[in-house]
Amino acid sequence: MSLMITDECINCDVCEPECPNEAISQGEEIYVIDPSKCTECIGHYDEPQCQQVCPVDCIPLDPNFKESEEQLMEKYLVLTGQL
């Protein structure tokens, strides 16, 4: 699954630079995650870095974008030009 940022986001700016895929950007009111770029950090790290640094715990899995670990790894390979 891709991750998402809920409206509990306080716009603290710590998640955006942590994303290795540049999937996080400033939305109209809060930060947003582009599901086409989010791999839950698979291929880069053992855990999603945005979740690790978020002070308010507002980055859950997005139920609208269900993907297996294999699909996330394939997305990582495509995004990094390895596939």
Structural domains for the chain: 16-79 (3.30.70.20)
**35 Ramachandran zone, left/alpha/beta (phi>0; psi -120 to 50):** alpha
What does the block give as tokens for 42? 């698979």
The whole-angstrom separation of Cα 72 and Cα 2 is 8
Helix (H) or strand (E) holding 25: strand 24-26
Q: Is the pLDDT of residue 1 over 90?
A: no
Residue-wise pLDDT for 44-83, tens only, equals: 999 999 999 999 999 999 999 999 999 999 999 999 999 8
Burial class of 69 by CB neighbour count within 10 A (0 to 12, 13 to 18, 19+): exposed
Q: Which amino acid is at 33?
A: I
Q: Which amino acid is at 77?
A: L
Q: What is the pTM assigned to this prediction? A: 0.92
